[in-house]
Amino acid sequence: MTTALGVDIGGTGIKAAIVDIDTGELVSERVKLATPPGGEPDDIVATVVKLIEQLGGLDDDVPVGVCFPAIVKNGRTMSAANVSHSWIGLEAEALFEKAIGRDIHFVNDADAAGFAEVRYGAAKGVPGLVLLTTLGTGIGSALIYNGVLIPNSELGHLMIGGRDAEKRASNAARERGRLSWKSWAKRLQRYYSHLERLFSPDLFVVGGGVSKSYQEFLPLLKLSTPIVPAVQRNNAGILGAAALAVRPPENLAESSQSR
């Protein structure tokens, strides 16, 4: 059994667990602590260290993956969603590595969730281009082509009608506008039709908490591309971060089909 630690950092909570990379099952309890008020770097790093201690520490050979709500480029956080702006431009990967005492794999949270769905979830065994979107406060996105992650897609910020797509099509926009499912689906239709024209994906996967209510809105969408709800939900970030910490097969879609 190959195991890795996955850590999922969010604006309100930080979660961690040890994952069986072969099966995608958690082999420890999932521990969670509140994200420190203000979301400052040193405070979040200290919280991650506490979570590792709650899990009993780590053996020297256990890889570590951490996902974070930001554009991540060469170990730097180039944006900050629901955390302190002190993260912007920070050598965040090195900061975590110093505190934890080992190398880590550091990745955007939506990218980790998308990777988890390809490896263990709704897109397992699907060849070609999988496009995951998370509908929440904004819209996160992940592009995975034949098992290879294309990082930092940020497709919630596509301009549609002169506005960021997430300003009108996120779940937060639905709640702010007190939109019916039907009215919201019209906005989603415009968004996903635009993505379809740009990328011609083989599968859309829809995540975020609202995906639990997928029967209220996904059947209302008329697309050429199949569109399905995510299945990993609360564990997606942990699973994806852990899986990415272990060097994956070059083509996960093919390897998933062969298992």
Domains of the chain: 3-111+235-250 (3.30.420.40), 125-230 (3.30.420.40)
Quick one: three-class SS letters along 165-234?
Answer: HHHHHCHHHHHHCCCCHHHHHHHHHHHHHHHHHHHCCCEEEEECHHHHHHHHCHHHCCCCCCEEECCCHH
Give the C-alpha separation, 234 to 208, whole Å: 9
Q: In this predicted model, what pLDDT tens digit does every residue of 30-62 receive, in sequence order?
A: 999 999 999 999 999 999 999 999 999 888 889
Q: Confidence band (pLDDT; 50, 70, 90) for 130?
A: very high
Using a pLDDT cut of 70, give the percent of the chain over it.
95
Give the C-alpha separation, 166 to 194, whole Å: 13
Q: In this predicted model, what pLDDT tens digit does every residue of 112-121 receive, in sequence order?
A: 999 999 999 9
Distances in Å between the Cα of 99 and the Cα atoms of 14, 46, 48, 140 are: 16, 8, 9, 28
Helices (H), 60-180: 92-100, 109-120, 165-169, 171-176
pTM: 0.90
Q: Give the chain's length.
A: 259
Q: Does 179 have pLDDT greater than 60?
A: yes
